[in-house]
Every structure is written in C-alpha cells, then in structure tokens.
Amino acid sequence: MIDTCDQIFVLLQHWLVSFLPAAWQTAAGVLLSVAAIVCLFPALFALTTVFERKGLARIQNRLGPNRVGPFGFFQPIADGIKSLTKEDIVPLSADAAVHFLAPVLLVVTVFMGFAVLPMGRNMVLVDLDAGLLFYFAMGASSELAVFMAGWSSRNKYSLLGAMRAVAQMISYEVPLLLSSVVVVMITGSLSLTKIVEAQNHYTWGLPHWYIFTPWGFAGFLMYAIATTAETNRSPFDLPEGESELVAGYHTEYSGFKFALFFLGEYVAMFSISGLGTTLFLGGWSAPFSFLTWVPSWIWFFSKLMLSIFVFIWMRGTLPRLRQDQLMNFAWKFVLPMCLLNLMVAGLWRFMGDGWLRWVVCSAILLLAYVGLGLGEMRRQRLGPRSYRYAE
Amino acid sequence: MSIVFYILAALTVAGGLAAMLLRNTVHCALALTVAFAGLALLFLNLDAQFAGFAQILVYIGAVAILVVFAILLTRGSETPKEGVYSRSWLAGLAIAAAVFAVLGWAVLQSARVLPHETAVPAVTVQQIGVALVGRYVLPLEIVAVLLTSALIGAVIIAIHEKVGHEKEEHK
Amino acid sequence: MLGEGIIKGMVETAKNFFGSYFSAERLTTVEYPEQRIAPYEAARVFPFLVFDSKNHAGGTDWESGLRCVACQICEKECPPKCIFIEKSKDKKPDALGRLQFYPARFDIDISVCMSCQICVEVCPFEAIKMDTEFELSTEDRFGGLLLDRKQLAKSNQYYHQIHPAEATGVDAKLAAEKIKAHAKVKITDEAKTAAIAGAGA
C-alpha cells in the first residue's frame, strides 16, 4: 500500500502505456512523462506567483491580491488571460528572428533541465550517467537566450541589462559548479540518482543528507548564493531592476513573450532548487527514518517549495546589490570559500570516520568564513571626496 | 550511417555555412552556436556523454557568449551593405582544401588503423577522470598553466587601461 | 560578522509575516473601496462653495444662500488660473442684509487646480472652502472636469461634517461679524436719531 502510493505515477504510466502495441511503448512512456513535466511545472509556477505576491505583501505589512478567487488564488488565471490577450509589439528596428527565438530558446533549455531530476523513487525521466553535467550544460545555454533577448531589442537599456545579466550569470556559474563538484567528489558519480541514493541512509533516525556535514553545509550556502544569482533573483536582480533599467533585457517584450520570460525565470528557479534539493537535501528521501512511509515525491516537492519560500523570503528582506558589489562578492568571497570547501571535503574523505574529522573540518571552514569576511568584505575605506566641475 | 547522423551532419554543415554567409555579425555568431550544438549532438549520437555535454557547456555556454561579447564590444551594430569578401580568397580556398584533404585522409585511414573496433567502447566519466590525472597529467597541467597565464594577461591589460584612464583624468 | 545583518533582517521580516495574521497593528492597510479611512480635519482636495440654508434672502435653496459675492479675489489670486467667475447684473441681499452681487457663473477646472488653498485663504467672505471628495473621475475629459457653481455649492452642514473644527470657527467668526454689524447699525441708527433729534431740537 505504501509502495503503491510511492510509485503511483510510475504505475499509472505503465498502465496507460500498456494499451499501446509493444513497439510504441517506450516512446509513449517518455512522451507521457514529458507531458506530465510540461503540465506540472507551469501549474506550480502559477501557484508560486500567487504565493510570492501574497508572501511579499505580508512581509511588507499589506494584503496581497485577494479579489480573484478564494484569497486571491485564481489571480494567475487572470494574469494569464491578460498576457495572452495583449498585443505582441515587436520594435520596428529590432531583429525579428532573434527577437522571436530568444524566449523560445530560454524556455526550451530551462525545461530540458528537468529531464535528469529524480523527483521520487524511480521517477527520473532519463537516468544519465553524466546527469549533473547535462543539467549544467542546459543552464549555460540559457544565458545565450538572455543575451539574444537584450541584443535583438535595439534598446540601450535592454542591452545594458543583458550584459549585466550575462556577466552576473557567468561569474556565479563558477561557484555553482564548484559547490556541486564537492558532492560529486564524495559520492563518486555524476549521476543524480546515485547521489540521492547515497544520501538515503539513516543513522539513529537521522539521515545522511550532505547538508548535515560541514563541507555540505558550506557547499549548500555557496550553492544557494550562486542559484540566487543565476536566476537573477533578489538580491541579485540588478539586470531586471525596475528602478534602474526599466525591465532590463525583457523591456521590449509584451504579451505572451513576456509571459514566457517570466515563466522561464520561475521554472529555472524550480529546476535549480530541485537540483539543490537533490545534491544537498537528500532529494526524495525522508528526514527521519520513521517517516519513510510518506511517498517520496511528496518529500521532493515539499523541499522544493521550501526552497521557493526561502527565495521569496530573501526577496522581501534584502536590498538589491550593485553590480560591482555583486562581482566582488562572487570573486573575492564565494569562490575562495568554494575552493577551500573542495579541499576540506577531500580532508573529510581521507580522515576516516569519527568525531575528529567533524571538528577539524568545521573549524577550518568557520575560520575561513570569519577570516574572509573580515578580510575581503569589510567596508571600503573611502578617501576624502574629490569634486570635478564641468569646465 | 543512420538517418540521425545525416540529419545532424546537415545541421552542423548548415550552421557552419550560415556562419560564413550571413551578413549580420551577431547572426553569424548564433549560426556558429548552431554548428556547435550539431557537433555536441553528434558526440551524443556516438554515446560519448561526457564529450557531448562538455561541448555544450564549454562551447555554447562560454565560447559563444565570448564571441558575441567580442563582437559587441568592438564592432557595434552596423551591418555591412554587401558581403565581406577578402581579396586573397583563392589562397584561402587552397589552404582550406589542403586542410580538408589531410583531415579526410586521416578519418578514412582510421578504419585501417583500428580494424578490431566493433562495439562502441563504453567510456565512463570515471575512466576519463582517471586517465586525466594518471596518464595525461602533464597535458592537463600545461593547459592549466596556459589558462592561468591567459587570465593573468587579461587582468594585466585591464589594469593598465584603468591606470591609463585615471592618469588621463588627473591631468 | 559577515551575514549577521542578513539574519537579523530575515528574522524581522519573518516577524512581519507571521504577525500580520495575528496583530492588527502590523497589517496597516485598508481594503478600499469596501473599507475607507475617514479623512482628517485638515484634508483638502478641491474647493467648493458654501451656502447657508437659512438666509436673509428668504429662500432655503443653494442659489440664494451662496455666500460668494463674486468679488473675484480668488480668481485673481489663483496661481494656475483655474477659477472662472462672471458677476451677475443684479444684486441680492447677503447674510448681513446688505445687497451684494452674486456669481452668475463660477467654474473651477479641477484638472488644473493644484489644491494650494490660496483661494480659501484670501476669500473675505468665508465663501469658498476645501472639499475632501476625491472620487471625481469621469469619462468626459474636458467638460466633466469643469465643475460649475451648481456642482460646487454644498451646504454649511456638509462643511460641518467634513471639517468640524474649522466650520465651528467660521460660524463663530461670522456670528461675531453679524453682532458687530448690528451694533454698528444700532450706533449709526442712534447717531442718526440723535442727529435728527439734535437737528430738530
């Protein structure tokens, strides 16, 4: 019974596919899973937009949208109808082909990332040996779409926004990859299913999630910072800051194409949170050994939504970082911490089991954190102000 | 030589041709990206997972962006009225034909050099990793030194520009 | 230490989030248009003309009770010149019994009015005061935003409702003026009767 609940989607897929002749069964099964992903995550996106608006509103001492539907939960339907019925304006001097292709490329690459995420026991679309590498390859391709959008609009603000966005995404890609490489090092495989299975063991009821180890905790923090920057999310949303750049690289998009950019950004958030859950939070494994009766996909999606709530919380709390502050942070703090984390993980692995490795690794990471924080991130000592007047 | 190979080969060749024949420079860069993608798919077709995904990650994710940034920062958006042809195109054609001949000969001779390869060798990422730090550690380190020197060179150029700017402003 | 500020900030916003469900002072917004905040004593939007319901002219309607005597001081003092006044040809008695002109046309263009209250400050007759009505949107962009004297005329009771302290002060001032005017009339009458008596004597 518990197993049926756990594997209900897999069994459903097998049952539906059994109606077809044997030659078509694998293709039909894959198509069915793809259709499920393409229907589920945009629905989750719609729900997240309401949660975000209401969550941000409550943080800011106001009610969110509450007119459409019970407590405003049908608001995304109204928003969807609005964006579908708006006129699709393409600027006269814009590059029409590239302008059209940019949101398409973004949405395609973002959805491809879901192919390797294990959303439950036996619930991976494609079990690749180099799954993590595939995910990062797709993530890197989405940066090109951002650039295409900004350049094809023939608009100073769009181009500036696109340059800033791409610079930010490239500089935070290095910490993203390095913090994931630690997990790969310890697990010994790039396959995401194997990473989850390595975390699915329990000692005294507590799980072996990587976040509960010193290097995993540091890696998770770096990963969280890098994902916030990769998806252009507050406090790293300078490329689309409304008060600075109108709307950044999607200024010239209206109607459904804008909705596609919005969708692409949120779905990228989902997939990268899903990856973080898989790498550090144990994927579909339950937090305590007495809770394994709850279906695995419920755990995966709860952890995913928890990450989304933390994103929304951060958005409501922190002010935006300036471009140079962003870059300083990436190259002077996050990157050294990631490299140190790699070495600490190696130390962890070769010190053998026991309490000593916990103490040593935690001590090294804490010292590095405090040291780098005091050293690199102190306020700039500004000299006396100098004025230049127009001649 | 399956149908998939022909489609991917056509895609790659079309991307390469478009990269050469289109007038707008950024369009050329994007067509080059299509050629890279075709190449990556060819790798995947041969079951070389690591090579295919690394091709996407490195070429499309970094090199293509580098190319478009370079175009933007140096040229601006003027599209030339007619195509840009160089005057020494005959010499270029001869060199390209020579290189193609050498590569073609090497590829066609590979069937003779490795006659016992029947099945696709399963190369896992772990084997690649072991080979990199075992047998090929010297090339790895040399490439690392090369990349580091390129990075330092870029930083030096940028610092000189900044210092040059400041000196000009103070005057 | 690095990250301390972030933690403190996130604790504060979490308190805001959970507190907004429980305590009323955290959630300070009002669901307009079902709930409205009452306007303050000194709130002002656009001017209106005050009329007295009980007046010397004998009628109770707005036209006869308008305090405005078309002196055109507000029209001249208005910075964006949004008041348009036309004096009447005849006169009618005002609250103190004297014969005064009245405005045959008194238009305010509220698309131009900047709510500076100068017209209120310079009016010697307490005839024009600031209203608090702001839901004035209309589909007619030009005619709908030009309020004529019928739309601008509102009663003294209404004035008491929107600005109670101010209206009480104005009423007291007008009553005091009335008493002074009566006293002056009495003195003048007495002086006249004394002069006649003196001349007669």
- The tens digit of pLDDT for each residue in C162-193 reads 999 999 999 999 999 888 888 887 877 777 77
Among C37, C18, C33, C9, residue whose Cα is nearest residue A61? C18
Q: Are residues A37 and A105 in the same domain?
A: no
Question: With a cut of 0.90, is the ipTM above it?
Answer: no
Q: Which amino acid is at C147?
A: L
- At A62, list the tokens: 């106001």
CB A307, CB A276: distance < 8 Å:
yes
Does an H or E element contain A207, and which? strand A206-207
Q: Which chain B residues have a beta carbon less than 8 Å from that of A159? A: 72
What is the structure's pLDDT at B79? 67
Specify burial of residue A325 (Cβ count, 10 A radius: 0-12, 13-18, 19+).
middle
The domain segmentation of chain C, as residue ranges, is 47-186
Residue A325, pLDDT above cutoff 80: yes
Provide the pLDDT for residue C168.
93
Whether A49 shows a pLDDT value over 90: the answer reads yes
Domain boundary residue, one of A50, A66, A85:
A85
Distance CA(C147)–CA(A141), nearest Å, equals 61
Residues 6+ positions from A356 with CB-CB distance below 8 Å: none
Q: For chain A, what is the mean pLDDT? A: 88
What are the structure tokens assigned to A302, written together? 């709860």
Tokens for C171, please give them: 């009423």
Tell me which chain B residues have a C-beta less than 8 angstroms from the C-beta of A95. 24, 26-27
Chains that touch A (3 or more CB pairs under 8 A): B, C
Counted domains in chain A: 2
Choose between C32 and A303: higher pLDDT.
A303
Q: Which chain C residue's Cα is nearest to A377?
A: C2
pLDDT at A142 exceeding the cut of 70: yes
Please determine, looking at this structure, whether the domain spanning C47-186 carries the CATH number 3.30.413.10.
Answer: no
Q: Is the pLDDT of residue B171 over 60?
A: no
Chains A, B: CB contacts within 8 A come to 68
Give residue A42's domain range: 27-85
* Cβ of residue C142 closer than 8 Å to a chain A Cβ: no
Please check whether residue A339 touches B, CB under 8 A: no
The residue of chain A with its CA nearest to that of B68 is A147
Do the strands A202-203 and A206-207 form a parallel or antiparallel pair, or are they unpaired?
antiparallel
- Eight-class DSSP state of C66: B
- Please determine, for residue A265, whether its predicted confidence score (pLDDT) is greater than 70: yes
Q: Say yes or no: A38 contacts chain C, CB-CB below 8 A.
A: no
Is any Cβ of chain B less than 8 angstroms from the Cβ of A32? no
pLDDT of residue A118: 93
Provide the strand spans (E) within C65-152: 83-87, 92-93, 99-100, 103-109, 128-130, 146-147
Q: Do A144 and B60 touch (CB under 8 A)?
A: yes
Q: What is the pLDDT of residue A245?
A: 55
Nearest CA in chain A to B44: A134
Average pLDDT over chain C, rounded to an integer: 86
pLDDT for the residue A68: 87
Q: In chain B, where are the structural domains located?
A: 1-79, 124-171
Phi, psi of C103 (to 5 degrees): -80, 120
Least confident of A379-383, C71-75, C86-90: A379-383
Q: For residue B120, name the pLDDT band (cuts at 50, 70, 90).
A: low
pLDDT at B105: 92
pLDDT exceeds 70 at position B60? yes
What 3-state DSSP class applies to C199? helix
Answer yes or no: CATH 2.70.70.10 is held by domain B1-79: no
Structural tokens at position C97: 């019994």
pLDDT of residue C141: 86
Q: What is the pLDDT of residue C187?
A: 78
Q: Residue C92 has what pLDDT?
A: 81
Average pLDDT of A294-304?
92
A8 found inside a domain: no
- Report if residue A156 sits inside a domain: yes
**Do both A77 and A92 map to the same domain?**
no
Report whether pLDDT(B36) > 90.
Answer: yes
Q: Which amino acid is at C138?
A: T
Cα–Cα distance, C156 to C52 (Å, whole number): 6
User: CB contact, 8 Å: C186 with chain A?
Assistant: no
Same domain as A266, residue A233: yes
B in contact with C (at least 3 C-beta pairs within 8 A): no
CA distance C38 to chain A (A): 19
Residue type, position A257, single letter? K
Residue A219 inside a domain? The answer is yes
The pLDDT > 70 percentage for chain A reads: 96
User: Quick check: B54 and A137 CB within 8 A?
Assistant: yes
Q: Does A258 score more than 80 pLDDT? A: yes
- Per-residue pLDDT of B137-163, as tens digits, reads 999 999 999 999 999 998 898 887 666
C56 vs B23, more confident: B23
> Which chain C positions have a beta carbon within 8 Å of A60's beta carbon?
16
For residue C146, the SS3 value is strand
Model confidence band, residue C82 (pLDDT cutoffs 50, 70, 90)? very high
Q: Are residues A46 and A184 in the same domain?
A: no
Q: How sure is the predictor about B43, in pLDDT bands with cuts at 50, 70 and 90?
A: very high
What number is the average pLDDT over the span A329-335?
Answer: 90
DSSP conformational letter for C154: E
Q: Measured between CB atoms, does A210 come within 8 Å of chain B?
A: no
Beta bridge partners of C128: C49
Statement to judge: residues A43 and A167 lie in one domain: no
Cα–Cα distance for residue pair A229/A272, rounded to 1 Å = 11
Residue B165: pLDDT over 80: no
pLDDT tens digit sequence for A156-207: 778 888 888 888 888 899 999 999 999 999 998 889 999 999 998 888 777 8
Q: What token pair was written down for A313?
A: 């919380």
Cβ-Cβ contacts under 8 Å for A331 (sequence gap 6 or more):
A171
Q: With a cut of 80, say whether residue A38 has pLDDT above it.
A: yes
Output the six-digit token pair for C120: 């209120």
* Sign, CA torsion B110/B115/B117/B123: negative
Strand C153-155 to strand C47-51: parallel, antiparallel, or no bridges (unpaired)?
A: parallel
**What percentage of residues in chain B have a pLDDT greater than 90?**
44
Find the range with the poorest average confidence among A35-49, A86-100, A227-241: A227-241
Q: Is the pLDDT of residue B33 over 90?
A: yes
Name every chain A residue with its beta carbon within 8 A of the beta carbon of C32: none
* Cα B27 from Cα A97, distance rounded (Å): 10
Q: In terms of pLDDT, which residue wins out, A57 or A242?
A: A57
Confidence bin at A6 (pLDDT 50/70/90): confident
- Quick check: C93 and C56 in contact, CB under 8 A? yes
Whether residue C12 lies within 8 A of chain A, CB to CB, comes out as yes
The pLDDT of C9-21, averaged and rounded, is 90
pLDDT grade, residue C66 (50/70/90)?
confident
Instruction: Note the pLDDT tens digit of each residue in B83-119.
Output: 667 788 889 899 999 999 999 998 888 877 776 666 6
Task: Identify the pLDDT of residue B81.
Answer: 67
Same domain, A76 and A117: no
In the predicted model, is pLDDT for residue A39 greater than 90?
yes
Q: How many CB pairs under 8 A join A and C?
A: 47
In this prediction, what percent of chain C has a pLDDT beyond 90? Answer: 39
